[in-house]
Chains A and B, each alone.
Chain A
Amino acid sequence: MRLEASALSGKVVFISGDGRGSGKTALLAYAMGLLRAEGERPAYLGVGLDGESERAAAVAGQFAQGRGSLVPCLPGELFLSSERYLRSSGCEPEIVALLPGSGALGRLAIARARRPGLAVLVGPDSNELAALAIGLMRGELGARTVLVDGAFNRITQVASFPGSVFFVATCVSPADLAGKVKAMRRLALLADLPELGAGAKEDPDRSAVEAGLGTRAAWIEGALTASTLDRVGVETRTIVVEDFTKVFLEEPALSCLLRDRSLAVERRIGFGGFVARLRDLTWEAFFEAIRDERVESLVLRNPYEEGVFA
C-alpha cells in the first residue's frame, strides 16, 4: 500500500517513529510533498524531541544546538518555531501568533514562510501548548492540514482533534525483524480496540453494554500496567482506558488479557499505518514474517522506494 495525499488532507497528521533512524523526518518531508502536489499549503510543528530530529538540526550547521526538525518551507506555509531559530531561518518568516511562555530557545511563534527556505520546527514542552498551536493553525490561521512531527508518547493531546490520524515510521532489518513485527502486531491490536466514547469514565458499565461488550466494566485512570491489572478484580470483564497510549502491557500480557477479557478505550485514535523502510530485507521476507492480514493491511511501503522509475 502506498501513502496518498487523501490519507492526510484535512487532518491533523501525527508522524511518529519507533526510534532513531526510523525515517520520520523523511516521511514528514514526503507528506509535505504529497500535499503540495495537491495544491495545499500544510502547516507543521514538532512536539517532543528525539534523537533523529536533533541530529537533523545539527546537520544544518548553523543550528549547532538544534533541537527540532529542519524542514524546507514554501511560501504561505505555517510552522512553529522559536524566536532564536526564526532569526536564522531562511524562509523570511512572518510572525502570525505567539504562544504563551518562554523557554531556553525564546518564545514560540507560529510563522508563515514568505519564500522558499529552511525552518527549524521547535516543539512546545506541554501538550496543552501543542493543542493551542494546532488549534490556532487550523482555526484562525486557516490551515487545512497540520503535520505534527512528534515523539510517540506525545500523541494523546494532539490526537484529540477531530479527524486526527497518526502514522508510525519504522526501519526494519533482519536483526530486529522479530521484535519490530511483534511491536507492530501489538500496535495494530491497540489501534483496533473498541471505542466507548464520552461517558465511558463516568459510567463504564453502561458504555460497555452499549458497545456490546457486556457489563462489569472498570475504568482505569492513567496507565494500564501489569501491576494495575493485578489490582483489577477477577469479576471485571471489560477494562476501559482513555486511549491506547495508556496501555503499557507487553505483547504476551496484552494477548493474554484480550483472550480472557475485553479492553476498550474511551477514545480511539485514528491509525494511518506503519510506513516501513527495510534494510537488508526484502518486502517478501518482511510480509512473510508478519503473517497477519490486519497488520499487512496497515503497512505502507517506503515512499522513497516506491514509483522511482519513470
Chain B
Amino acid sequence: MRRASLPERPRYAESACPDGLERRSSTRRFASACSAEAWDFSRAEEVWTRLAPLTPRGRDRKEDRAVYGEEPILESLYDQVEAAIEILERLEGPALDRLRHRLSRVPRLPEALDAGSSLEAADLFLVKKFLVNYAAAVGLLDARARAAFSLGFESGELRALLARGGSDEESFFVSDAYDPALAAVRARARELDASLARMRGDAESSAERELGLAFRGRSFIVVPVGEAARLDGPARAAVAVEPYDSSRCVLRLSLAPEAVRAEAEREGLLDEERALEAAVVERLSDDVASEAARLRSYEDALGDFDFALARALLARDLGLTRPAFRPGSLVVRKGRLLPCEDERKGDGLGYRPLDLELGERAAMVFGPNMGGKTVALQTALSLQVLAQAGLFVPAERFESEVHARIVYAGAPRPGKAEPGREGDGLSGFGREVEALQSAWEAARAAGAFVVLDELGRTTSSREAAALVAAAAERFAAATGTRCLLATHFRGACPSEAVARLRMAGLDREAARAAAAGGRLGGKDRLRAIAQLMRYEIVRDDGIEAAKGSDALEVAALLGLDEDIMKAAQAHYDRES
C-alpha cells in the first residue's frame, strides 16, 4: 500500500475523553483546500456527518474536515479505504462487533505524555485502558490488516506492569503489588479498620443492651432531653451528649481509649500510604514516559485505521467508488448528490444521477429554472470535495484532477446566510464581484476547481452575459483549473475552449399536454414538473434553445395567469 505522510495534527487539551464525550469546536477546519462556501454548497457536510469513527483520534480526523490538495496523500487515503474494505470482508458479524467495541473504548492518551511532566494516577488509568483496548483491537486483525496500517504492539511488558494495578482490565489503582512496604502499611490499616469496626459494633450493641439506645449504623441520634438525663451507671460514659434544641439533644457513641489509639495510628498510616503511593506513581510514570513515542505511534496508527474503517463502512453502506485522478479530464458517470437523492426519494420522486464528460477546462451550463443546473453543479462539486477529502464517492465512475483549491461563488443555498456578511455595505453585485475575484485569485495562484452558479444574477442581462463569457474564457486558460459555470445568459459567445452545455430541460410536448390538462396544486405541481424535466446534461448546439422557452412552459405549469402567459409568449416570439 502506498503511504504518504499526512500533515501533523495538533494534539488537543481534552486528554481525558475516554468515554465518548468531547468538546471541540464544530467549526474548526484543518488543512482545507476547500472554501467554506464550496463545502456548504456541495452539501458535503451531510455526507461527512454519516462518518462514524470510534476512537478519539478518528473523531479528530472527522472534526478536521480536511480537504487535501496533494494527490499522493489522497491516493494513500484511498489505499487505506480499500485495505479497510478488505478487512471488513474478512471480518464478519461478531468479530467486527468485537473490533468496534474495542475501538469505542480506546481513550485519548494523556497530554502529560508529551509534556514530559510526571503522570498522575488518572493518566496511568488512561494509558492502561488505551493499551488494553488497543492490544485487543489489534489482536482481532490478521497480519495483513496489521501490516496495512502499521498496527504493531510491542508494549506487553508495560501492559503487564499496569495490569498489576486494577481489579479489572481497564481500572487502575496503586496496588500492593507495586511495593511490599505499601502492602505492609495497608495490611496494618486493614487490621485497624476491622478492629475499629468491631469496636464500633460492640459499642452499638452495648448501648442498645444497657442504655436502650438504637444507633444501628447511625453516627448520631436525636433524643428528648429527658431521655438523655435518664442515662446513668457505667454505660453512661459510652455516649457523648451534645445540645440540639431546647427539648432534644444529640447522642454519639464515645470512642473507647483503645479505639482512639487505633484511629490515631490509622491516620498516621494514611500519611505513610500516600507517600508510598506517590513514589509508585512516579516510578510507573517513568516507565510509561520511556515508551511515550511508541504509544503515540500506536495512537496515530489506530486513528488512521479507525478513520479508514469509518470511510470503508460509509463506502460499503452507500455504494461509493474510488475516485481516479487523470490529468485533464473530468468524467462523471452516474454521479449522485446523496442528500438530494434522499430528499427526492423521500418525496416519492425519481432521481437521475449526473453524467458528464468534459475535456475542456471550463464549461457553461445553460438551462431553464428548475431544470437542474444547480443540482448538476452541486453534484460535480460534491464529488470533487468528497474525493479530495479522502472519501470514496457516490458515482459509478469519477475521474478528475486534484486541485489546489476548491471554490464556489454564487448565491448561498436557501436558508444559508453568507457567514459574516451582515452589514458589510456591499450590494448584491458587489458581493458577486468580490466572490468572482476571490475565485479567480485562487485559480490563478495554483489552479482550482471553480463552481460559479448564476454569475451576473444581480445585473442586467447584457452585462451579465459579458461577465460570464469573460470569466469562462479566463478560467479555461488558467493552468490546473476546472470551472463549471451555470447561467441563463447566452448572449456573449466565449471561445471554443469553453464547453457549452445545457440541461436537457422540459419534455415540452408532455408539458403542454399537462398544462392543458388543468391546474395542479402545491406538491402535485412540483411533482408534475419534476416528472416532465429531463435532468441530464447535453452539449448545447443552440438549436434546442431556439425551439422555445422552457421557462415559459414551467411558468404555465406553475399556474401563472393565462393572460400573462399569452402576452409573455407573444413578447418572446417577437424577440426570437
Contacts and interface: CB of A to CB of B under 8 A. Distances in A.
Interface of A: 29-30, 33, 36-37, 83, 86-88, 90, 92-102, 106-107, 109, 112, 114-116, 128-129, 132, 136, 173, 278-280, 282, 302-305, 307-310
Interface stretch (B91-99, B121-129, B500-508, B509-517): B121-129
A95 B19 contact: no
25 contacts: A94-B167, A94-B173, A98-B18, A98-B126, A99-B21, A100-B19, A100-B21, A101-B16, A106-B120, A107-B16, A112-B171, A114-B173, A115-B189, A115-B190, A116-B193, A132-B21, A279-B245, A280-B245, A280-B247, A304-B218, A304-B222, A308-B214, A308-B223, A309-B214, A310-B208
Interface of B: 14, 16-19, 21-23, 107, 120-122, 125-126, 166-168, 170-173, 186, 189-190, 193, 197, 208-209, 212-214, 216-223, 227, 244-248, 270, 274, 277-278
B217 A37 contact: yes
Contact of A95 (B121, B214, B218): B121
A96 B171 contact: yes
Main secondary structure of the interface of B (DSSP, over half): loop
A308 B222 contact: yes
A279 B170 CA distance: 49
A28 B222 CA distance: 17
B231 to A, nearest CB: 12
B213 to A, nearest CB: 6
B125 A95 contact: yes
A107 B173 contact: no
Nearest to A280: B245
Contacts of A87: 121, 274, 277-278
Given A83-B120, A116-B197, A280-B246, A305 B222 contact: yes
Contacts of A36: 217
Given A100-B23, A136-B19, A302-B222, A95 B171 contact: yes
Contacts of B214: 307-310
B418 to A, nearest CB: 29
Contact of B212 (A98, A129, A310): A310
A226 B328 CA distance: 69
Contacts of A280: 245-247
A2 B563 CA distance: 84
B170 A96 contact: yes
B14 A86 contact: no
B220 A33 contact: no
A100 B222 contact: no
Contacts of B21: 99-100, 128-129, 132
Contacts of A94: 166-167, 171-173
B166 A101 contact: no
A309 B208 CA distance: 8
B214 to A, nearest CB: 5
Contacts of A98: 16, 18-19, 107, 122, 125-126
A115 B18 contact: no
B233 to A, nearest CB: 16
B494 to A, nearest CB: 53
Given A100-B23, A106-B122, A132-B19, 17 more contacts: A83-B120, A87-B274, A95-B122, A95-B172, A101-B14, A106-B120, A280-B247, A282-B247, A302-B222, A304-B221, A304-B222, A305-B248, A307-B214, A308-B222, A309-B214, A309-B223, A310-B208
Closest 9 CB pairs of A and B: A94-B173, A305-B222, A95-B125, A308-B221, A33-B217, A100-B17, A279-B245, A310-B208, A280-B245
Nearest to B13: A102
B220 A304 contact: yes
A92 B182 CA distance: 12
